[in-house]
């Protein structure tokens, strides 16, 4: 067994590998860029080596720097995580030449299966069903349009070396195919250094289901069940679960055996994933690709099988045979994974960067697991993926796993930047999701007009009113004790207050009760049992027998509560103060409709208009790049450009003016 390994990655996956290595008694080496010098994975590792500037092309993607770091530290093996160099055969070959083990498959398997075009050709030769498409290299956008017409719309344009939703565009017509090819090519070149793009038929109403395989290269190849990955946005997985609520045991077995057969063709060893697209109506499945690495969503498989996939990868790389057979693989219970991202779902999911001023994940238990690479006070950089964490839950049934997830989302306390927890809370509350009626079109169909506040799950306002009243009462009790006005004197029972929430005024009384308070709202009395202490960001309580977790913080002269994905600013006032509050004037925000504002912090790659130009609704105005993704900003209506406020190459802040339209 290795005594020291290097993790050629960053963030949560680097931390994840370090945890297993530590459990196995293996020392670890982290690598880091300028942007990651204070990162959690650097602090967790036994050693750390600086490898260059913030841009991944000058640090995490430079093979020679990783090999040199191994030589400096004496690392005997490298775990690549996912992304970056994990599916670069040149990396595996360079490590091999240096006498360093690669914790993953060999170069032949990486090339054969890691390249989307070559893997489909090999799958066809092996008799595996594949999605109809054109696997040749496309020279330009015009040829992409021609091929798309021949295949028949809709089509998917995909980067051959792609992954993680990068370099992918869905096209329903010639214009979208032309534009999509250009954007996919640019993203592919930026993210992977490989601008090849291919086209395939887009299967409507599909499910995305993948099979986890594990092989030792010594004759044993296993499948560890499936993962349902159909909940996607912009081709990026958002929620994954294991097992799938759709597959029958017969289909699971057929897909698993086919995945193993594909792995055996290239004498695969290590953990890998064979991805399939499954027709929701017919149940027929088609091979999409094989990822020759650990998947982001691997924890849900670990939760239902009891296997540590990182440990298995390390043992196989060290030359050990797998200690289990296919009959030993049992699927127990249900697991969910939600990807918590630094992005603003209310602004079309635009990336959000900055410092985590408050960060408190839910407590881990047998039902809750948090894989993260951040900490309170750390930063989410514009240079890398905006993932904050992976939140994983487990239960004996699917409903139980969902219930644990909804509670854990309520308990996840993040401040300082925008995050997608409100969107996740909404997803897990959708009736279609709860019933398991999933397709890759789920988000597009359920949120056809984007994500808005009215998409949040319905919440009982009584709970928030009762929590606000109870918290205010406890704060008032504290203030009286501090002031010494009434030393040792309990507050007068039946104190009257007015709770102002969402513009509504609610008359209440709050009385001390056993282990908490009795809050009367109108004619209804609510029992609130809580041991919450002032300053704690999470108000845990049992409200009329229902366990709730409400995030709470000061907001001006009132309180800000967050629950079930939504936030509410609440004032708890005396009756006189409430009457005065109704008389306060409302200050309208300034009108910014005549400006094109940057919806995110990023780089202005292209400015496509100039002063005095007439533009039509839908016309592209600018291209902003953030988190390695190109975002095309388009005109919402016909207009004339009065003035440009930024130029190509500028670094933009969120809401920075780019273009001013004529009035």
In this structure, what token pair is assigned to residue 302? 């670990």
Give the span between the Cα atoms of 663 and 351, in whole angstroms: 30
Give burial (CB, 10 Å; 0-12/13-18/19+) of 556: exposed
How far is the C-alpha of 520 from the C-alpha of 123, rounded, in Å?
67
Q: Rounded CA gap, 45 and 68, in Å?
A: 18
Which residues are catalytically annotated?
289
Residue with tokens 């009982």: 460
Contact 115, 123 (CB under 8 A): no
CA distance 323 to 340: 34
SS3 content of the chain, % helix, strand, coil (to 5): 30, 35, 35
Separation of CA 375 from chain center? 17
**Pick from 66, 75, 67: nearest CA to 31:** 66
For residue 91 the two structure tokens come to: 């990396």
**Sequence-distant (≥ 6) Cβ neighbours of residue 44 within 8 angstroms:** 14, 15, 18, 19, 28, 30
Query: In whole angstroms, what is the distance from residue 582 CA to residue 571 CA?
Result: 12
Angle of CA points 168, 131, 262, to nearest 5°: 100
- Tell the burial category of 462 from Cβ atoms under 10 Å away from its Cβ (0-12, 13-18, 19+): middle
Q: Which helix (H) or strand (E) holds 573?
A: strand 566-573
Pairing of strands 101-102, 77-79: parallel
Say whether the peptide bond before residue 632 is cis (omega within 30 degrees of 0): no
Residue 83 to residues 53, 61, 67, 384, 500: CA-CA distances in angstroms?
18, 10, 17, 11, 48
Assigned token pair, 426: 């909404």
| Angle value at C-alpha 330, between 325 and 331, nearest 5 degrees | 145
* Euclidean distance between CA atoms 73 and 330, whole angstroms: 40
CA dist., res. 192 & res. 85, Å (int): 9
């Amino acid at each position: 067994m290795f005594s020291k390994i290097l993790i050629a990655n960053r963030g949560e996956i680097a931390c994840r590998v370090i945890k297993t290595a530590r459990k196995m008694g293996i020392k670890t080496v982290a690598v880091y860029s300028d942007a990651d010098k204070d990162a959690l994975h650097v602090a967790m590792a036994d050693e750390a080596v600086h490898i260059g500037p913030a841009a991944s092309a000058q640090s995490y993607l430079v093979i020679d720097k990783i090999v040199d770091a191994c030589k400096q530290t004496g690392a005997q093996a490298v775990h690549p995580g996912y992304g970056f160099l994990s599916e670069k055969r040149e990396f595996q070959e360079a490590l091999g030449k240096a006498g360093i083990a690669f914790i993953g498959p060999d170069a032949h398997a990486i090339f054969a299966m890691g390249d989307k075009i070559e893997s489909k050709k090999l799958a066809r030769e092996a008799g595996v069903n594949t999605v109809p498409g054109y696997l040749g290299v496309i020279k330009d956008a015009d040829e992409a349009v021609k091929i798309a017409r021949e295949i028949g719309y809709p089509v998917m344009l995909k980067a051959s070396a792609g992954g993680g939703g990068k370099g992918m565009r869905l096209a329903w017509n010639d214009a979208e195919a032309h534009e999509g090819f250009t954007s996919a090519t640019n993203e592919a070149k930026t993210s992977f250094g490989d601008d090849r793009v291919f086209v395939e038929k887009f299967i409507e109403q599909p499910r995305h289901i993948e099979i986890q395989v594990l092989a030792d290269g010594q004759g044993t190849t296993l499948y560890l069940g499936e993962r349902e990955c159909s909940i996607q946005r912009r081709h990026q997985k958002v929620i994954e679960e294991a097992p799938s609520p759709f597959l029958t045991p017969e289909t699971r077995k057929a897909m698993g055996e086919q995945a193993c057969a594909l792995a055996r063709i290239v004498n695969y060893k290590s953990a890998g994933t064979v991805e399939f697209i499954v027709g929701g109506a017919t149940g027929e499945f088609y091979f999409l690709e094989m990822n020759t690495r650990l998947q982001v969503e691997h924890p849900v498989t670990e939760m239902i099988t009891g296997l540590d996939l990182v440990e298995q990868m390390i043992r196989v790389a060290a030359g050990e045979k797998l200690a289990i057979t296919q009959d030993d693989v049992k699927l127990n219970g249900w697991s969910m994974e939600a990807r918590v991202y630094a992005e603003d779902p209310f602004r079309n999911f635009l990336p959000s960067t900055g410092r985590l001023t408050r960060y408190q994940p839910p407590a881990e238990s047998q039902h809750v697991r948090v894989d993260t690479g951040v900490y309170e006070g750390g930063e989410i950089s514009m240079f890398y993926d905006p993932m904050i964490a992976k939140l994983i839950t487990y239960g004996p049934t699917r409903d139980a796993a969902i219930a644990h997830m909804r509670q854990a989302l309520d308990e996840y306390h993040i401040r300082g930047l925008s995050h997608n927890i409100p969107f996740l809370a909404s997803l897990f509350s959708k009736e279609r999701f709860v019933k398991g009626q999933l397709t890759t079109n789920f988000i597009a169909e359920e949120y056809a007009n984007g994500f808005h506040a009215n998409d949040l799950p319905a919440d009982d306002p009584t709970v928030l009113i009762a929590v606000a009243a109870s918290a205010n009462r406890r704060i008032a009790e504290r203030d009286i004790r501090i002031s010494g006005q009434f030393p040792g004197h309990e507050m007068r029972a039946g104190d009257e207050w007015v709770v102002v929430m969402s513009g509504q005024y609610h008359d209440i009384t709050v009385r001390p009760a056993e282990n908490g308070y009795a809050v009367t709202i109108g004619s209804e009395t609510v029992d609130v049992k809580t041991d919450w202490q002032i300053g704690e960001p999470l108000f845990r309580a049992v409200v009329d027998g229902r366990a709730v977790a409400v995030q709470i913080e000061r907001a001006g002269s009132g309180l800000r509560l967050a629950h079930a994905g939504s936030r509410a600013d609440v004032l708890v006032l005396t009756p006189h103060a409430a009457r005065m509050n109704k008389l306060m004037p409302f200050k309208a925000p300034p009108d910014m409709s005549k400006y094109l504002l940057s919806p995110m912090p990023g780089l202005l790659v292209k400015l496509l208009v100039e002063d005095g130009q007439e533009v039509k609704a839908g016309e592209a105005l600018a291209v902003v790049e953030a988190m390695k993704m190109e975002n095309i900003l388009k005109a919402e209506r016909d207009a004339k450009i009065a003035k440009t406020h930024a130029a190509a190459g500028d670094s933009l802040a969120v809401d920075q003016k780019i273009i001013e339209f004529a009035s």
